[in-house]
Amino acid sequence: MAGASSIQLHRHGSPRRATAESPVAKAILIAITLVFFALFLFLPLVVVFQEAFSKGLALFVRTFQDSYTQDAIKLTLLVAAIAVPLNTVFGLAAAWSLTRFRFTGRSFLVTLIDLPLWVSPVVGGLIYVLVFGAKGWFGPWLIDHNFRIIFAVPGIVLATVFVTFPFVARGLIPLMEAQGIKEEEAALTLGANGWQIFRRVTLPKIKWGLLYGVILCNARAMGEFGAVSVVSGHIRGKTNTMPLHIEILYNEYQFAAAFAVASLLALLALVTLFIKTYAEWRTEKQLLEAARDQHP
Amino acid sequence: MSITIQNVTKRFSRFPALDNVSIEIASGELIALLGPSGSGKTTLLRIIAGLEFPDDGGSIQFNGHDVSRLSAYKRKAGFVFQHYALFAHMNVLENIVFALRVMPRRMRPTEDAIRTRAKELLEAVQLTGFERRMPSQLSGGQRQRVAFARALAIEPAVLLLDEPFGALDARVRKDLRRWLRAFHERIKLTTIFVTHDQDEAFEVADRVVLIDKGVIQQIGAPADVRAAPANAFVSNFLDIPPRV
Amino acid sequence: MQERMGCNFVIAVSVSIESLSPHPMTSPSRPRKHALPGLGLTLGYSVVYLSLIVLVPFSALFLKTAAGGWEHFWGTITAPRVVASYWASFGISFFAAVVNGVFGVIAAWVLVRYRFPGRRILDAMVDLPFALPTAVAGIALTALYAPNDWIGTYLKPFGIQVAFTQLGIFVALTFIGLPFVVRTVQPVIQDLALEVEEAAACLGANRWHTFRRVILPTLLPSILTGVTLAYGRAVGEFGSVVFISGNLPFKTEITPLMIISKLEQYDYTGAAAIGFVMLVASFLILIVSNSLQSWHNRRLGIS
**In this structure, what CATH number is given to the domain that contains residue C276?**
1.10.3720.10
Where does the pLDDT of residue B136 fall: very low under 50, low under 70, confident under 90, or very high at 90 and above?
confident
Chain B partners within 8 Å of C32 (Cβ): 53, 69, 71
Closest CB to A191 among B81, B89, B102: B102
Residue contact B123–C1, C-beta within 8 A: no
For residue C20, pLDDT over 50 is answered with no
Under 8 Å between Cβ of C160 and C187: no
Of B112, B130, B156, which residue is a domain's last? B156
C119 domain residue, yes or no: yes
pLDDT of amino acid C232: 92
Within this chain, do residues B2 and B91 fall inside the same structural domain, yes or no? no
Chain B contact present for C3, CB below 8 A: yes
**Mind listing the pLDDT tens digit for each residue in B88-132?**
888 899 888 888 888 888 888 888 888 898 998 888 888 888 988
Residue contact B126–C5, C-beta within 8 A: yes
B2: domain range? 1-76+157-244
Q: Give me the total of CB pairs closer than 8 Å, taking one residue from chain B and one from chain C.
A: 94
Within this chain, do residues B122 and B29 fall inside the same structural domain, yes or no? no
Closest CB to B155 among C3, C10, C20: C20
C7 domain residue, yes or no: no
Within this chain, do residues B162 and B244 fall inside the same structural domain, yes or no? yes
- CA of B230 to nearest chain A CA: how many angstroms apart? 35
**In this structure, what CATH number is given to the domain that contains residue B211?**
3.40.50.300
Chain C partners within 8 Å of B178 (Cβ): 2
Q: Which of B91, B102, B195 is nearest to B153 (CA)?
A: B102
Under 8 Å between Cβ of C154 and C206: no
Walk along chain A (296 residues) in steps of 10 and give the mean pLDDT of each run. Answer: 36 50 83 87 89 86 88 94 96 92 85 88 92 82 82 91 93 88 89 89 92 93 93 80 92 90 93 91 80 62
Under 8 Å between Cβ of A173 and A95: yes
CA distance A84 to A277: 19
Where does the pLDDT of residue B25 fall: very low under 50, low under 70, confident under 90, or very high at 90 and above?
very high
Within this chain, do residues B34 and B89 fall inside the same structural domain, yes or no? no
Q: How many domains does chain B have?
A: 2
* C-alpha distances out from residue B87 to A54, A207, B49, C35, C230, Å: 55, 14, 19, 19, 40
The single-letter code of the amino acid at B63 is N
Q: Which of A182, C189, A232 is nearest to B49 (CA)?
A: A182
Where does the pLDDT of residue C63 fall: very low under 50, low under 70, confident under 90, or very high at 90 and above?
confident
Q: How many domains does chain C have?
A: 1
Residue contact C6–B182, C-beta within 8 A: yes
What is residue C31's three-state secondary structure? Answer: coil
Cβ-based interface (< 8 Å): residues of A facing B: 182-183, 185-193, 196, 200-201, 204-205, 289, 293-294, 296
**Which ipTM was obtained for this model?**
0.84
Within this chain, do residues B19 and B109 fall inside the same structural domain, yes or no? no
**Mind listing the pLDDT tens digit for each residue in B174-233?**
888 888 888 888 778 899 999 988 888 888 899 999 998 888 888 999 888 888 888 888
Residue contact A131–C56, C-beta within 8 A: yes
Of B107, B128, B156, which residue is a domain's last? B156
Within this chain, do residues B72 and B168 fall inside the same structural domain, yes or no? yes
Where does the pLDDT of residue B54 fall: very low under 50, low under 70, confident under 90, or very high at 90 and above?
confident
Question: Is the CATH number 1.10.3720.10 carried by domain A56-294?
Answer: yes
Terminal alpha carbon distance of chain A: 18
Within this chain, do residues B69 and B186 fall inside the same structural domain, yes or no? yes
pLDDT of amino acid A13: 43
Q: Is A218 exposed, middle or buried (0-12, 13-18, 19+ CB in 10 A)?
A: buried
Chain B partners within 8 Å of C39 (Cβ): none
- CA of A8 to nearest chain C CA: how many angstroms apart? 9
Write the Ramachandran bin of C87: left for phi over 0, alpha for psi from -120 to 50, otherwise beta: alpha
Residue contact A186–B167, C-beta within 8 A: no
C247: domain range? 62-302
* C-alpha distances out from residue B126 to B122, B143, B191, Å: 6, 12, 21
Of B156, B177, B203, which residue is a domain's last? B156
C54 domain residue, yes or no: no
**Mind listing the pLDDT tens digit for each residue in A232-268?**
877 777 888 999 999 999 999 988 899 999 999 999 9
Q: How many CB atoms lie within 10 A of CB B146?
A: 26
